[in-house]
Amino acid sequence: MTKILTSESLGIENKKTIIELLRNEGPLSRADISRHLSLSFPSVSNNVNYLIENKYIHEIGEGNNIMGRKSTLLKLNAKRGYVIGIDLGRSYIRLKISDLLGNSLVTLSDKVEDKSDDKKIAKQLNNLVNKAIKKSGVNFNDIMCLGIGTPGVLNKKTNRIDLIPYTTGWSSINITEGLTEIFNCPVVIENSVNLGAIAEMWRGCGTDYRNFIYLNYSIGIGSALILNRNLFTGSGAAGEIAYTAVSPEFILEKYSDEGSLEQLISGKSIDMEIENSELGVSSLKELFSLDTPGAIRKREEILTRIQKYLGVILINISSLINPEAIILSGGIGINVGRILIPEWKKMMESNIPFIPDLVCSELGSEANVYGAVRFALENIEDFFCSWA
């Protein structure tokens, strides 16, 4: 259904657009805003005056416009409110409190205490939020949105996780329960890989690309699609490449939450294989620290397998989406990617005509929580609409 814009809702959209422009491009003059947004000068002036009165933006001095005349510059009031970004991972919780420009005030992390007990996880999450609020000195009433990232496929209607391989007990968690009782603001959730892609587009190596694939490779394998600078989620689960099959012989005869690709090369399956190999180590990270002949052979065997199977996936998604870049993230994605990117480029050059850039994430383990902050900033709109 097409959304009908009334004069009231159009005014709200214009105000939000001005705030977003000043967040990304400011400080700017009224004339600059008019040119950037193709809005009439009177419309810009009316909206700007409203935003100044409500302390969302302020005048900071003079600048020169294109005619050489002095003009008053406007800047987003970053301390008008704050957001909280949370990355709820399988092993760690990472949290940031940021101002409206995305500048971090407090960053905290904590190891997940009990991966199988949803009530304990919810309690731990609430405690960490309270600890961060107290440490930051920010008033509860100044929190304008909480953005939360979690692994798995989310049900946005119930705020519960419908599917999360390698973790038990999480499907019953209501991510926002408890937090919505504390904060009088939106609490929004999104898949953590999607948030990693948003973060790279915002402050990482995706800033210069309009279309890219963000591939997260660690305990599991997932991806997110940024198309025309927007996150594409399909019917809700776009990017779940764990379920792709690299060839007919690897098509599963019976469904499993751990997809065909994950069963071949996920961090979990590789670590289990290493643990059973009698090499005296239990993870790929530990295997790379060994220089024994057996460890070197095993390492080369695993790298060859990752090169081959993930290379097939890179070729397939590149031919289907034609992205400008593929960004590799996650512990395995970044570290193995640095070794195998030249080989993957050769594979792609031999099979497809248009080769995307292959790059490793610049944000690393911070990507998901930065994405949660950005997601929270984008979803202040529910609060914002209450002005009208």
Residue 103 has pLDDT above 90, yes or no: yes
- The pairing of beta strand 57-64 with beta strand 70-76: antiparallel
Dist CA 262 CA 241 (whole Å): 9
- Calculate mean pLDDT across residues 163-177: 65
Q: Which residues pair with 88 in a beta bridge?
A: 93
Dist CA 196 CA 164 (whole Å): 17
Looking at residue 381, what is its pLDDT? 63
Q: Which among 95, 90, 82 has a CA at the least distance from the CA of 369?
A: 95
Angstrom CA distances, 160 to 56, 72, 197, 258, 310, stand at: 34, 48, 21, 19, 30
Helix (H) or strand (E) holding 328: strand 325-329
Dist CA 351 CA 319 (whole Å): 9
User: What tens digit of pLDDT does each residue of 105-146 get?
Assistant: 999 999 988 766 667 777 888 889 889 999 999 988 899 999
CB contact at 8 A, 332 and 318 = no
- Residue 254, Cβ neighbours under 10 Å: how many? 4
Q: Which CATH number fits domain 7-76: 3.40.440.10, 3.40.980.10, 2.30.30.90, 1.10.10.10?
A: 1.10.10.10
> Check: CATH 3.30.70.3270 for 81-197+368-387?
no
Sign of CA dihedral 336, 342, 348, 350: negative
CB contact at 8 A, 188 and 379 = yes
CB contact at 8 A, 267 and 287 = no
Phi, psi of 27 (to 5 degrees): -75, 150
pLDDT band for position 386 (cuts 50, 70, 90)? very low
Looking at residue 150, what is its pLDDT? 86
Helix (H) or strand (E) holding 382: helix 381-384
Dist CA 171 CA 316 (whole Å): 31
- The pairing of beta strand 82-88 with beta strand 143-150: parallel
User: What tens digit of pLDDT does each residue of 241-300 get?
Assistant: 999 999 999 999 999 888 999 999 999 999 999 999 889 999 999 999 999 999 999 999
- The DSSP code for 174 is B
User: What tens digit of pLDDT does each residue of 47-100 get?
Assistant: 999 999 989 999 987 766 555 567 899 999 999 999 999 998 888 899 999 999
Omega cis (within 30) before 356: no
**Token output for 152:** 């798995």
Q: Which among 119, 125, 129 has a CA at the least distance from the CA of 89?
A: 125
CATH class of 207-362: alpha beta
Angstrom CA distances, 112 to 98, 132, 192, 243, stand at: 23, 16, 16, 27
Q: Which residues pair with 111 in a beta bridge?
A: 92
CB contact at 8 A, 87 and 372 = yes
Looking at residue 222, what is its pLDDT? 94
Angle at 251 between CA 156 and CA 224, to 5 degrees: 35
Dist CA 66 CA 282 (whole Å): 63
- Sequential DSSP letters for 164-185: -TT-SSGGG-BTTTTHHHH-SS
- Calculate mean pLDDT across residues 353-374: 95
Dist CA 287 CA 306 (whole Å): 15
Q: From its phi and psi, is residue 152 left (phi > 0), alpha (psi between -120 and 50) or beta?
A: left
- Residue 370, Cβ neighbours under 10 Å: how many? 26
| Domains 7-76 and 207-362 belong to one CATH topology | no
Q: Which among 88, 59, 75 has a CA at the least distance from the CA of 22?
A: 75
Dist CA 164 CA 219 (whole Å): 12
Its pTM stands at 0.88
Q: How is the chain split into domains, by residue range?
A: 7-76, 81-197+368-387, 207-362
- Calculate mean pLDDT across residues 158-167: 67
Coarse DSSP helix, strand, coil percentages of the chain, rounded to the nearest 5 percent: 45, 20, 30
CB contact at 8 A, 300 and 341 = no
Phi, psi of 303 (to 5 degrees): -60, -40
Helix, strand or coil for residue 104? strand
